Each structure stands twice: as C-alpha cells, then as structure tokens.
Structure 1
Amino acid sequence: MTGRIDGKALIRAIEKMATLTDQSAPPFTRRAFTETYLRGREWLKSHFETSGLDVKLDAAANLIGRMEGLDRDRPPIMIGSHTDTVTGGGRYDGILGVLTGAAVASYLHRSGQSLRFPLEVVDFLSEEVSDYGAVSCVGSRAIVGTLSQEMLLRNNPNGETLKDAIKRMGGNPDLLNAPLKKRGDIAAYMELHIEQGPVLDTAGIPIGVVSGIVAIRRVKITVRGQANHAGTTPMKARNDALVGASQMISLVHDLALDWQGSFPLVATVGRIEIFPNSPNVIPGLCIMDLEVRSISEEEIDTFLDQVEKAASDTSAKCHVSVSFETASDAYPALCSENIIATIKEACSNLGYEYLEMPSGAGHDAMHVASIAPIGMIFVPSVKGLSHCSEEFTKEEHIIAGAEVLLESLLLLNEKLDVSYAKLLK
C-alpha cells in the first residue's frame, strides 16, 4: 500500500529548510552552532509539533520529537539524522532523514494510528565535522557516552569550547560526563539518508538497504620546517614545510589508490593550515587533517602504518619533521540483520526494487549502534553528488524512501512486540 506519506508536504518542508541558509556562504550552508542553525531549529521545532510530536532538547542539545505509544513504559523506536551541513552542503544530506521522520509521525498523527512503542524523531546536534577540534556526530556521541571531556574542552577558532557551544544551543553539558542512554533505552533505530554516492543512481534502483557503516579515523599530520625569507634563502638551504606537506598529500593519495587490502579503503587530506601563510615567507609549519575510511579497522591500522613509515623519507628529503596524532576514531557499525530483513520486507510489500550495500559515509547511526539495533535506508543521489550545492535527489525517490521508512516502522513495531529480546542481541 502506497500513498500514505503526504509527499507534497514533505517536499515543501525540504524546500523551506533550504531557505534557512547562511547568506554569506555558498548554498546551502547551515553550520551547527550558528545563528542560521538556530533559526533552522526554531522552524523544525514548530514543524515537529505540527506533525504531532512533543518536542524537547536533551542535555546534548539534540532536538527530539516524541509520540507516545500504547505502552508508555516501552523504550522508543527512534528515527533520526541531522540538519547541519558542511559549508556549501546540499539540501538533502541529513535533512531528508529528519524531515521524513516527521512525515512518518505526521501520517500516524493524521490517521489516528498508535504504535505499541513510543516513537522519537531526533535531529542530532552537529553530525558534520565541527569547528571544535574536528569533532563530528556531537549529539549521537553524547547519547552513547563517547563524547569525551577532552572533546568538550576543544576550542573553535574564536576560542569558544565545545562545552560552551552546547550550552549556547540549549543543552546542559554538565550532564555529559555519562551516557544519556544505555542499552535497552532505545528499542531500535532507523535512519533514512541520501546515498551520497553514485551506485543507486547508476543502477537505476530506488532503495538501498544498508548492511553496515565504515570506520572513520581522522589524523592530524603536523609538518614542521623553518620559516625564512623567501627571497634570500637558497633553494637547497630551505626547510619548507609546505613542500613536505604536499609530498605527504601525494603519498597518502598514491597509497590509497594502490590499496590491495581485503576491503576497500579511501583516504583524503581535506584541510590544511599553513603558517605564516605569507607570499614572501617560506612556510615553517603545516597542519593537515587526514581522514581514512574502511569497514575494517585493521585495514586502517595497516594503511596508517604504511603512511608513517613512508613519512620518514619525506622528512629526510625535505629537511622537515612529520608527526601524527589521532583526532577522532569512529568504529565500524553493522546493521541489525533483523532490521535489514524488515526493510527488505517493506520494499517487497511496496513493490520497490532494492540493493543491499555498505555505507561509505559516516552517520549518527554508527554511534547509536553501540547501544541499540540499527538499520539504514538509502535513496539515490543524482550523479553521486553530495557535500556540495549541486546535491540532488528526485522527488519520487524521496517519497519512495519515506514510504519504505513508514512501512519498516509499522513492521518493526509488530516484530519488536513478539521478538524484542531477540532484536536487542
């Protein structure tokens, strides 16, 4: 049975959220902790309420809409994602998952249908890499207790700590010295998301059923040379940190390109700071952020070992020093076999073709997986574009994903009732 989701209202909500963008940055930019983000949160709170949800902020400033079930004492089935973006990010990444969650709640509200379990729709705080020492998934880390005190004390470029920023968003960071949820507090978690890659679009398949989420490790690479006058220092007498950094970037790229491990691996140097960053001064210091992703932590370990060993050659050749420091580490997360089967059953019930596939991108779901069974639904990204203003998903795929999410929720509500203990394993 299709047509239960109000597709026109869902598309209008996505279009409205797209207008809540930082006018001084490329479209569509809504960075966590900004005034633009707060305006988006204000609109989203109202939208949640219109969808039949009671809304609150938790201690981590996650925005949570709740609909009670027939049994208020049961843990909720949670649907979530995020509404913050990267700079110049798209209209769908994260936003789609939150708004389809609201659309599912709206259907239940309009139809007068009650689940056995409570339903919670969550907009997690700052899923994207933040300006606070490159911490990502702030809200979902706090839920499960992996937002460390060290992370809370990291600064943004203006000197504000993450702890103070969470407080400014309406949270209570003094309560984040322990997990906000423990195993058993969430019956199941589902997240609908754009694929952010080309697989579904290329294959012409409307739904991806996610099998697992890759591990993500971010490493700060520091290259130290000697700042000096660019006009008076002979080429052979230079200790140019930027030259060393450029060779490290090429090294990372080449090692990842030629990777022959048991599992696919990707590596990216996506940010670099240069000091003193002046045209007439030889760079004396470069700080880079390296990100490595694979479903296998062992493969990431092996890759980084190779990078560090090869860095000694760069150090000697360029007369610089190279050091490495782990900035963050997100473990791989496998989706629940029972929820995977439920999503596939929902696709079959609705007549949608699907493809089972891993996620190469990180999501809040990978943190929730440490305390609850998770499942994810992908919909196609046209040309595989994401984290850019050209990011686009067709309306028919948005509505198909929302229908599958709703059908999966209804099926899961029944299955959890009879096999709850099994699903929690």
Structure 2
Amino acid sequence: MHSNLPVDASRIAADIEALADITEPGRPWTRRAFSPLFLEGRAYVERRMRDAGLETHIDHAGNLIGRRPGKKGGGTLIIGSHSDTVPEGGRFDGIAGLIAALEVARSLADRGIELDHDLEIVDFLAEEVSPFGVSCIGSRGMTGQRPDAWLTRMADGRSLAAGITEVGGDVNAAKARTDIKGFLELHIEQGTVLEREGINIGVVTAISGITRIEIVIEGRADHAGTTVMPFRKDALVAASEIVLAIREAGLELSKTPGHFTATVGEFEIEPNAANVIPSRVRMLIDARAELREDMEVFCTHLDTIAARTAERWGVTIAAPVRISDVVATPCDPQVLAILEQAADGAGISHRRMASGAGHDTGWMAKVAPAAMIFIPCKEGRSHCAEEWAETDDIALGTAVLFEAVQDMDRRLSEES
C-alpha cells in the first residue's frame, strides 16, 4: 500500500460495507433502482454527504447531488457514479466510484482546500438496466439526452415518469445542464487486464460503441429420424457455423490496437422439438468496438459469413440487420493527461485502456470534458455476488481523483 495518501481508506471501506448491508435478504447484493432498498441506500449516502458538509438535493432527473460551493463559481466539476445494482450483482460496481467521489470531498474539507469552481458529488439514477428496461437514466436526463418516449415505459404498474417523481425528480422541470466544466468517474475494471499486469490504474480512453445485429436463418422442418443427413436444411447447423465464425472474427479484431468484442447473447430455435430438424434460428449479436473502423470491418465480414453459410447449407439467411448502433465515446485528451499526471505524481502505476462496458461517463463526455479510471477487481468478476475490489486499490484510485480534480480546477481558472 502506498503511504501518505491524501484520502482515508477506512472511511471508504466503512461506507461500501454499510451499503452492502442494504440488500434483499438472500440476494447479495441487490439494490435495484426505484426499489425501497434503493431509496434506503440513497438515504444513507445523503446522510454521509451532509456529514461531509455538502448541500444535498435531488435534481429533475432523479440524481442525488451533494454540492460543495467554490470560491469563484463559474461552472461545476462533477465526480460520481451510481448506487443501484443489478439483481444479485456486485457491491463495488458503481458504489466504489460513488464513495470514492464522496471521499474526495471529505479529503478536500479535511485539508481546508477550497476549489474555485463548484464541486458536485453525484449518485446517478439507474445506471444499470432498470425495471423499465433502460439504463443511464440519470446521466442522460441531466444532460438532456433522455428520450421523451422513455417516460411512458411501464414497470410494476407505473410509468418511468412516475418512478422518477417517486425518487424525488421532476420530469416537468427537465432542462439540460450547461454549467458542467468537467466530469470524472472511478469504476472497477470488470476485466482482468490490470490484475494480470499488476497495474494500479487504468486510464480509460473511450467508452466502446455497442452495435447489436440480428441474423435470422430459415431452414426446413423435417422428421429428425427419417430425413437422411445429406438432404437436410438444418437452420441450427448453419447457425452454429456462424457463431463460430463470429468468434474467430472477434478474436482477429481483438488483436488490433482498439478494444473489440463480439458475443452471440440471444439465441432462439424453432420448433425446438427433439424429433424435428430446426427450421428457424434467430440470433442477436452484441459487438463492441473502441474504433469505428473495426466495427465496419466486422459488419462487412458478417455479411460475407451469412452469404457463404446460406450457400453451403442450403438455407436462407437475410442480410444481417443492425438493430441498434451506438458509436464509441472518446474521453477528453486533456483530462486523460491530467489523470496520468496525478498518478505519476503519487507514484501510482497506470496504463491506457478502453471500456468495453457502458458507463455514465459515456453520456457526460458528450457535453463536457470527461474521463474515467479503472481499478482492479478480483479475477475480473462483476455483476455477480463474487465481485470484489480491495480497499487499498480503491484508495489509490481515489487519491488520483483527489489530485486530478484540483488540477482541473486550476486549469479552468487559468483559462478564464
């Protein structure tokens, strides 16, 4: 452990443990957005914000905000993450970043350090996929990027608009923030790179774009016991070849400088009967790329794979369809440099890397200079009860945020 860190690791550990105790019985660690337990967790965070001398409120988008006024104003720096979890998910995903942000505010107060600009610690509403089927509700709402159509989505007999109202928001007062001058977020890596390489901090260059692609294979249903093997039009056999080809393409593209993954995550087979040759298969591919050119190469290759497979197995495969297509969001180069300088100054090892998962940073970065850092997590496990991050690693990341937010504040003052 590095000595003389400007943050208190014991406070970080105590707050994370306290939130971990607020969970559904027998389902560690479950505190889904819009649930009573979520509100209980938020109440705890709000108390800790007030203990740190922060002014608290819920904004129109349902985000919990702890504000520390600056000496001069002129804009706001934001640090934060989220307190909601996936079902039976981890106790560090989001929570580590939120408590790290709170600890930055506490450490500034401990040292009597006043920033020129306002500082906000934010618990974003519903970063994880919510019961309403959508995610990053708070960060999209804060920045004016939440689709209006989302407000009528229903779950548990209520609309999303009603859910936001229940947590203290006000959809009728929605207005995109224009005062945000910078954003930082700490998060567990949710992968094994930092752990494998023995590196303390990942400086995140971009939030990878996500493209979801549907492929439908039409074969012919026939009797499984009487149709001889050479004359079958088995949709599942063709689909199996495509799945393996997708893996091979993903492996090749993962060797390029940018982050790339491809996964067949949804798979449906018809008629799904033991004695019938499969007549139809639908699959949905989740492909993620840091570099747009890698995604275009993959999609072009997928078209070729589909055509080749249809011809080989005598089935019909329509051209793959992009169901959704979100390009990568790069982090701000100057903020990346600030984070690296902060790590260097504290003797903390670091490397650049992309995020394969989505985060609130991806939406904040569209409206203000933003970046995030990763800290190691055990065996890369995440979104599961076994998720674990060491307090010492979280404290090192928090120390980087502590130095970086002061540097960002100084630079903004110099530019004004």
Q: Is the counterpart of residue 145 in structure 1 residue 144 in structure 2? A: yes
Q: Residue type matched to 1:291 in 2?
A: D
Verify: 1:123 aligned to 2:118, yes or no: no
Residue 369 (1) aligns with residue 365 (2): yes
Cross-structure match for 2:300: 305
Letter in 1 for 2:37: T
Partner SS for 2:373: strand
State the partner residue of 1:257: 251
Residue 42 of structure 1 corresponds to which residue in structure 2?
43
The CA deviation string for residues 385-421 of structure 1, in whole angstroms up to 9 with x for no partner, is 222222222221111111111111122222221025x
Equivalent residues in 2 for 1:9-408, closer than 5 Å: 9-23=11-25, 25=27, 27-72=28-73, 74-133=74-133, 135-155=134-154, 161-176=159-174, 180-182=176-178, 185-219=179-213, 221=214, 223=216, 248-259=242-253, 263-272=258-267, 289-312=284-307, 317=313, 326=322, 328-408=324-404
How many Å separate the matches in 2 of 1:165 and 1:225? 42
Deviation at 1:121, TM superposition (A): 0.9
Three-state SS of the structure 2 residue aligned to 1:42 is helix
Partner SS, residue 13 of structure 1: helix
Contact 2:75-2:118 at 8 Å conserved across structures: yes
Conserved? CA contact 2:208–2:259, under 8 Å: no
Q: Deviations over 1:55-75 (max 9, x none)?
A: 222222122111111124x21
State the 1:120 CA deviation: 0.5
The separation in 1 between residues aligned to 2:37 and 2:380, in whole angstroms, is 27
1:300 aligned counterpart, secondary structure: helix
Mapped to 2, the partners of 1:374 and 1:13 lie a distance apart of 25
SS at match of 1:55: strand
Which deviates the most, 380-389 or 391-400? 380-389
Change (3 A) 1:359 1:106: same
- SS at 2:334's partner residue? helix
CA distance in 2, matches of 1:224, 1:165: 40
5+ residue gaps, structure 1: 421-425
Take 1:161 and 1:155, find their aligned partners in 2: how far apart are those partners? 4
Residues 223/152 of structure 1: CA separation in 2 closer, same or farther (3 Å cut): farther
After superposition, give the CA deviation of every residue in 1:257-312 in whole Å (9 maximum; x if it has no partner).
23376634201233456789898999888765432111112321331233244335
- 1:114–1:215: structure 2 CA closer, same or farther, 3 Å change rule? same
Q: CA 1:6/1:71 → structure 2, altered by over 3 Å: closer, same or farther?
A: same
How far did residue 153 of structure 1 move?
4.3
- The gaps in structure 2 that reach 5 residues or longer are none
3-state DSSP of counterpart to 2:180: coil
Question: Take 1:137 and 1:45, find their aligned partners in 2: how far apart are those partners?
Answer: 20
What is residue 423 of structure 1 aligned with on the other side?
none
8 Å contact from structure 2 (residues 225, 275) kept in 1: no
Structure 1 CA distance for aligned equivalents of residues 5 and 392 of structure 2: 12
Distance 1:356 1:55, change over 3 A: same
Segment drifting more, 207-216 vs 253-262: 253-262
Give the aligned residue type for 1:217. T
Cα pair 2:90 2:384 within 8 Å, conserved? yes
Structure 1 Cα separation of the partners of residues 369 and 301 of structure 2: 35
CA distance in 2, matches of 1:155, 1:272: 26
2: CA distance, partners of 1:45 / 1:284? 55
Q: Following TM superposition, by how much is the alpha carbon of 1:163 offset from its aligned partner in structure 2, in angstroms?
A: 3.9
TM-score scaled to structure 1, two decimals?
A: 0.82
Structure 1 residues 193 and 264, CA gap change in structure 2 (3 angstroms): closer
Measured on the aligned residues, the alpha-carbon RMSD in Å equals: 3.5
379-388 or 74-83, which moves further after superposition?
A: 379-388
- TM-score between the two structures when normalised by the length of structure 2: 0.84
Distance change (3 Å), C-alpha of 1:78 and 1:307: same
Provide Cα deviations, 1:34-53, integer angstroms capped at 9, x if missing partner.
Answer: 33323222222222222222
Q: By how many angstroms is 1:217 displaced? A: 2.5
Q: Distance in 2 between matches of 1:230 and 1:126?
A: 48
Which deviates further from its counterpart, 167-176 or 277-286?
Answer: 277-286
Indicate the SS of the match to 1:258: helix
